[in-house]
Amino acid sequence: MTFLKGIAHWVNQTLRLIARNKAGFLGFIGLLFFIFLAFVMPLFVPLDKTSRVDKIYNPPSAEHILGTDFQGRDIFSLVVHGGRDVIVIAFLTGAISTLIAVVLGSTSALLGGAVDSAIMTATDFWLAIPTFPLLAVLATQIKLNDVWLLSLILALLSWATLTRAIRSQVLSLRQRDYVEAARSLGMSNRHIIFKEILPNMMSYIAISLVFAMTAAVYAQGGLVFLGLLSFSDNNSWAVTIQLAWTRGAIFFKDSFLNIMAPVIAIALFQLSLVLFTRSLEEIFNPRLRVGV
């Protein structure tokens, strides 16, 4: 019972912190909306795969609230079913790349010496690699139609910049008095990193995770738009854009929603992520919690 009360108190406190910042709260509501749209709505809105030549580029109506595409399919159903893979890939890529950066950056800053030199040399080498061209080449050689594999490759290509930033943060924090006190008391590096340093970096890490997610959305969308990712049974917003573009939707005046509906969905999802970082700062930074 005490454990449940603790969880309820934490949830209540976190929601209050999220609600303090109007922009951050708007982003939080936006994220909840897209999670509901991508994971719950498909249970009620079936994916329309039927071609209807008599309904091509129909305008919005009671039957098709966003109109129909170049095959006469319902655009709303494409938007509903197009978000799941985008959100999952964004979260997995952000989580994996952030984890790699935190481990390598912290290890480099704490151990120093040869370990620091080796990790920073590898990081500098990785930073010099043209990421998206390499990703495009890999997409031609590897069948990237698996969500986990694509997320792992995107993460492996995007950890370097954050690793340097994490290293700088840890080098700064390790000079603080409380860290010096822990070191003088003989605390282990494990205790110092997990108990003294990382808790004070959670705001920075959480925001970095969000921005890694936004970069993953763009990378995935770019690959799909260039035709370098295999189309799966699951639709995605980028697939809808790519098909609309290759089928010449831009040349028809009634095809506006065919292209813009998935574009707006991606833009609003990205905006929700960015706005949510405002609340994350207050959740993880006690100095911003005045009056709570």
Which residues, including other chains, have CB under 8 Å from residue 158's CB and lie 6 or more apart?
Answer: 93, 97, 131, 212, 215, 216, 219
The answer to whether residue 95 scores a pLDDT higher than 90 is yes
Best CA proximity match to 75, nearest among 254, 219, 248, 209: 254
The answer to whether residue 230 scores a pLDDT higher than 70 is no
In-domain check, residue 214: yes
In-domain check, residue 57: no
How many helices and strands (H and E) does the chain possess?
13, 0
Bridge partners of 68, per DSSP, are 74
CATH of residue 191's domain is: 1.10.3720.10
Full-model pTM? 0.84
| pLDDT band, residue 244 (cuts 50/70/90) | confident
256-267, pLDDT tens digit by residue? 888 899 999 999
* pLDDT, mean of residues 47-66: 87
The answer to whether residue 287 scores a pLDDT higher than 70 is no
pLDDT score recorded for residue 119: 92
Bridge partners of 74, per DSSP, are 68
Structural domain including 234 reads 14-45+83-289
In-domain check, residue 7: no
Domains held by the chain: number: 1
CB 160 within 8 A of CB 252: no
In-domain check, residue 38: yes
In-domain check, residue 50: no
Separation CA 32–CA 67 (nearest Å): 25
Element (DSSP H or E) covering residue 42:
none
Residue 238, amino acid: A
pLDDT score recorded for residue 232: 57
pLDDT score recorded for residue 289: 60
Both tokens assigned to 23: 């922009």
The answer to whether residue 255 scores a pLDDT higher than 70 is yes
Which residues, including other chains, have CB under 8 Å from residue 252's CB and lie 6 or more apart?
Answer: 57, 70
The answer to whether residue 1 scores a pLDDT higher than 70 is no
The answer to whether residue 41 scores a pLDDT higher than 90 is yes
In-domain check, residue 25: yes
In-domain check, residue 223: yes
| Residue 225 exposed, middle or buried by CB count within 10 Å (0-12, 13-18, 19+) | middle
Residues of the chain above pLDDT 90, percent: 25
- Three-state SS for 74? strand
Separation CA 120–CA 203 (nearest Å): 24
The answer to whether residue 22 scores a pLDDT higher than 70 is yes
pLDDT score recorded for residue 109: 87
CA 247 from chain centre, in angstroms, equals 29
